[in-house]
Amino acid sequence: MTNALFADIILPLAVRGRFTYRIPDNIAEKVSPGTMVTVQFGGRKLYSGIVCSVHEKAPDVKKIRPVISVAEGTPLINASQLKLWLWISEYYLCSEGEVMKAAIPSEISLNNYKPRLETFINLSRKYSEGELNEILDKLKKAPRQQDILSAYIRLTGYTAETDILPISKSLLLSESHCSAGILETLTDKGILTSASQPVSRIPDTDSYKEPIKRLSEAQSVAFGSIKTQFLEKDIVLLHGVTSSGKTEIYIHLIEEQLKKGKQVLYMLPEIALTTQIILRLKRHFGGITGVYHSRFSDPEKVEIWKRIAEKDPLNSYRLILGVRSSLFLPFSNLGLIIVDEEHDGSYKQHDPAPRYHARDSAIMLAAMHNAKTILGSASPSIESYNNAVNGKYGLTELKERFGLIKLPTIILANTREAYRKKLMVSHFTPELLQSMDEALSKEEQIILFQNRRGFSPYIECSECGWIPVCIQCAVNLTYHKGIGKLVCHYCGYSTGMPSNCGNCHSTGMVTRGFGTEKIEDEIKIVFPAARVARMDQDTTRNKNSFNKIIRAFEERRIDILIGTQMISKGLDFENLTVVGILNADNLLNYPDFRAHERSFQLMEQVSGRAGRRQKQGKVVIQTSDPVNKIIRLVLRHDYIGMFRMQSGERIAFNYPPFSRMVKISIKHKDRTQLNFYSDILGRDLKEIFGKRVLGPESPVISQVQLWYIKTILIKIEREKPPAKAKQLIIEAIERLEKEKGASALKIAIDVDPY
């Protein structure tokens, strides 16, 4: 008799730790690390879990439950994936189960994943051309049927010499403009046949492969420098000005890896960016290129997942373009990870746990595969540039644009002065309008950037100053004119536009401030002949809406594109010469220690869209504070100046990267109770960490969805390993959780908040 076997299993729960189950003999052969199993947990609930180890050590409990069933096939999760899950859970202080929930598409757990079926129509047998003409002739009296048959012949290019080819039923019907009923008559007659076939959910645009572009002199030097540094370092930061040709350098690095049979992960912060880059990649690397992001449906995600795990090199994806969650795909043989726009805040997941930073986790993932990481940016994060300066990362700099085009000229437009002199037209300064006029007259394109969606960020009673706020959050409601509603951008609550003040009942409700929707409205009035479009969260709810807008702009069917940060990064448009930043002030005034860094990056980034080809572009920044030090740095494209200034401030105030930060958010539905408990935790932590604890304090948004919020920040010394401090933090939270009544609290830990 063999010894009983046990499995330690990760369950998709917020509870830390793994759970041990007994493996019944009849399924023992199928259970190994990485397999998905079904087990019972708690009352009667069944869960799909992932086995991380199999052993003979019986746990010290009376009753141990059995594994109920095993998913068919090879292990779903490979060893390096499990390693990454564990690292994320330990570093970011969450459960492996929370990582699991973020990592795998929920439908992957279904044993029978069903392929998508599509109906195909075929000729029922091979007719000679003579016979076919005869049939066509006979169908003269049924012209609609004739249409279908002719369409079949035309679409498949049928001749008696070729093989008969099936064609998709929906395509045949749309091309022949006939109904399914008429087609049915032909299949009933036995002339055509109909059959279902499984098809890929991912459209295969395996296009003609172009050879990769030859690098310019400056690019070749950068490429060589990256490779030399890779001999000694695992991570290289590529700091190249906008349009210096970083993407082309990545493409050369990718090609080398693919030739070695390695996989490559190319990460981008924003789904909108995948649209253009995927085409650039597929043009060179064809069908082995896959893309992965949250807009895909679950079955599509499962298919991409399987294509990456696929061993057959002809059917597998070896180059993946994806957003942060692509880290969790089943890579087995990574050679290189590219983190483009590495400074971007979207790489950090805020809610729910795991609150991981995809750039930092990518570096860990690469290490697990013995792969290299390249971080790319025109304005690197202070963290990464600091790592490069002190030698932890390699550094390669590209200071010129491809084709030696100059960086755009930046014009500051003083809104305060323009308002005073009554020169503003709506929200536009004379400088901006003049630049736009010039561009439009030359049929060049324009981007206007405003980091707020909706029509106006709030409305106000002109009599008493009353402002409608969300019923669940401490947030002003944003007016959306298109749907005629006030909307909360934090919880989604919406309500009709009030005609009277809720306080004094006057009818003088007025809109304040401006979002992208209002800009769109007013630009259409100022430039009635221009073709105007808008790209923000509200206009890109459908899966393909990004593609449509970006394509239309590329094909010059749009003259002026208005958008939020979605349009600020990475996009490459040939004919775009003027960029307007409508309100730099609200970027700069955000209460966060990264606000200045971020506004520099954003302005530099959005400016970088202008004048990328033949001629130098122009950027107009509207601000009421033109002497602001960050704006002066943007004016000179002075990244190093910004880096020096910001690192000076952060050293002085002990902020990252010169300390590590952990943020604890505590929530309660009752404000007094929240104050009580957060004070307990604050005192406890101060006894351990002293002055390095900030708070508890109310964040800018102090209530969301009826939960009041307080935050505590802890700065941990950089020099010491963080594990010890994190353990002390966890213990303090556990002590709080044992207090009477503390179960009504929600506590979240955010390591390296961003």
Which residues here bind Zn ion, judged by CB under 5 A? 461, 463-464, 466, 470, 472-473, 488, 490-491, 493, 501, 503-504, 506
Question: 226 or 749, CB closer to ligand ADP?
Answer: 226
Q: Which two tokens stand for residue 630?
A: 């960050």
CA–CA distance, 516 with 553 (Å, rounded to integer):
17
Q: Which phi and psi (to 5°) does residue 480 adopt?
A: -110, 110
CA–CA distance, 190 with 660 (Å, rounded to integer):
73
Helix (H) or strand (E) run with residue 668 in it: strand 659-668
Q: How far is the CB of 154 from ligand ADP (least distance, A)?
A: 37
Question: 241 or 323, CB closer to ligand ADP?
Answer: 241
Q: How far is the CB of 352 from ligand ADP (least distance, A)?
A: 33
Q: How far is the CB of 197 from ligand ADP (least distance, A)?
A: 38
For residue 162, the partner it binds in ligand ADP, Zn ion, none, with Cβ less than 5 to 8 A by kind, is: none
Q: How far is the CB of 468 from Zn ion (least distance, A)?
A: 11
DSSP state of 537: T
Question: 472 or 675, CB closer to Zn ion?
Answer: 472
- Non-local CB neighbours of 647 within 8 Å, separated by 6+ positions: 382, 386, 658
For residue 245, the partner it binds in ligand ADP, Zn ion, none, with Cβ less than 5 to 8 A by kind, is: ligand ADP
Q: Which phi and psi (to 5°) does residue 123 adopt?
A: -75, 140
For residue 247, the partner it binds in Zn ion, ligand ADP, none, with Cβ less than 5 to 8 A by kind, is: ligand ADP
Q: How far is the CB of 72 from ligand ADP (least distance, A)?
A: 44
Query: Counting beta carbons within 10 angstroms of the beta carbon of residue 668, is it exposed (0 to 12), middle (13 to 18) or buried (19 or more)?
Result: buried
Question: 215 or 461, CB closer to ligand ADP?
Answer: 215
End-to-end distance of the chain based on CA atoms, in angstroms? 55
Report whether 284 contacts 355 (CB < 8 A).
no
Q: How far is the CB of 387 from ligand ADP (least distance, A)?
A: 21
Q: How far is the CB of 379 from ligand ADP (least distance, A)?
A: 12
For residue 473, the partner it binds in ligand ADP, Zn ion, none, with Cβ less than 5 to 8 A by kind, is: Zn ion
Q: How far is the CB of 238 from ligand ADP (least distance, A)?
A: 9
For residue 213, the partner it binds in Zn ion, ligand ADP, none, with Cβ less than 5 to 8 A by kind, is: ligand ADP
Helix (H) or strand (E) run with residue 42 in it: none
Beta strands in 609-658 (DSSP E): 618-623
For residue 408, the partner it binds in Zn ion, ligand ADP, none, with Cβ less than 5 to 8 A by kind, is: none
Question: 287 or 498, CB closer to Zn ion?
Answer: 498
Question: 248 or 303, CB closer to ligand ADP?
Answer: 248
Q: How far is the CB of 318 from ligand ADP (least distance, A)?
A: 21
Q: How far is the CB of 192 from Zn ion (least distance, A)?
A: 56
User: In which residue are the tokens 């009752």 written?
Assistant: 670
Q: Which two tokens stand for residue 314?
A: 């002809």
CA–CA distance, 438 with 585 (Å, rounded to integer):
26
Q: How far is the CB of 698 from Zn ion (least distance, A)?
A: 16
Question: 48 or 703, CB closer to Zn ion?
Answer: 703
Question: 81 or 445, CB closer to ligand ADP?
Answer: 445
Helix (H) or strand (E) run with residue 679 in it: helix 671-689
Q: Which two tokens stand for residue 302?
A: 């499962």
For residue 20, the partner it binds in Zn ion, ligand ADP, none, with Cβ less than 5 to 8 A by kind, is: none
Query: Counting beta carbons within 10 angstroms of the beta carbon of residue 579, is it exposed (0 to 12), middle (13 to 18) or buried (19 or more)?
Result: buried
Question: 501 or 560, CB closer to Zn ion?
Answer: 501
Q: How far is the CB of 615 from ligand ADP (least distance, A)?
A: 13
Question: 238 or 358, CB closer to ligand ADP?
Answer: 238
Question: 211 or 391, CB closer to ligand ADP?
Answer: 211
Q: Which phi and psi (to 5°) does residue 109 adopt?
A: -75, -15
Helix %, strand %, coil % for the chain, to 5? 40, 25, 40
Q: How far, CA to CA in Å, does 446 sit from each of 58, 273, 449, 532, 570?
A: 68, 18, 10, 10, 16
- What 3-state DSSP class applies to 48? strand
For residue 244, the partner it binds in Zn ion, ligand ADP, none, with Cβ less than 5 to 8 A by kind, is: ligand ADP
Helix (H) or strand (E) run with residue 615 in it: none
Question: 453 or 637, CB closer to ligand ADP?
Answer: 637
Q: Which of 585, 639, 629 is nearest to 608 (CA)?
A: 639
Residues that bind ligand ADP (CB under 6 A): 213-216, 219, 240, 242-248, 402, 572, 612
The one-letter amino acid at 208: Y
For residue 491, the partner it binds in Zn ion, ligand ADP, none, with Cβ less than 5 to 8 A by kind, is: Zn ion
For residue 248, the partner it binds in ligand ADP, Zn ion, none, with Cβ less than 5 to 8 A by kind, is: ligand ADP
Q: How far, CA to CA in Å, does 692 sit from each of 67, 426, 697?
A: 47, 47, 14
Report whether 408 contacts 578 (CB < 8 A).
no
Report whether 108 contacts 82 (CB < 8 A).
no
For residue 10, the partner it binds in ligand ADP, Zn ion, none, with Cβ less than 5 to 8 A by kind, is: none
Q: How far is the CB of 252 from ligand ADP (least distance, A)?
A: 9
The one-letter amino acid at 683: R
For residue 572, the partner it binds in Zn ion, ligand ADP, none, with Cβ less than 5 to 8 A by kind, is: ligand ADP
CA–CA distance, 502 with 468 (Å, rounded to integer):
8
- Non-local CB neighbours of 260 within 8 Å, separated by 6+ positions: 335
Q: How far is the CB of 216 from ligand ADP (least distance, A)?
A: 5
For residue 230, the partner it binds in ligand ADP, Zn ion, none, with Cβ less than 5 to 8 A by kind, is: none
Question: 10 or 281, CB closer to ligand ADP?
Answer: 281
For residue 470, the partner it binds in ligand ADP, Zn ion, none, with Cβ less than 5 to 8 A by kind, is: Zn ion
The string of DSSP letters for 174-223 reads: HHHT--HHHHHHHHHTTSEEEEEEEE-SS-----PPPPPPPPPHHHHHHH
Question: 47 or 266, CB closer to ligand ADP?
Answer: 266
CA–CA distance, 15 with 456 (Å, rounded to integer):
42
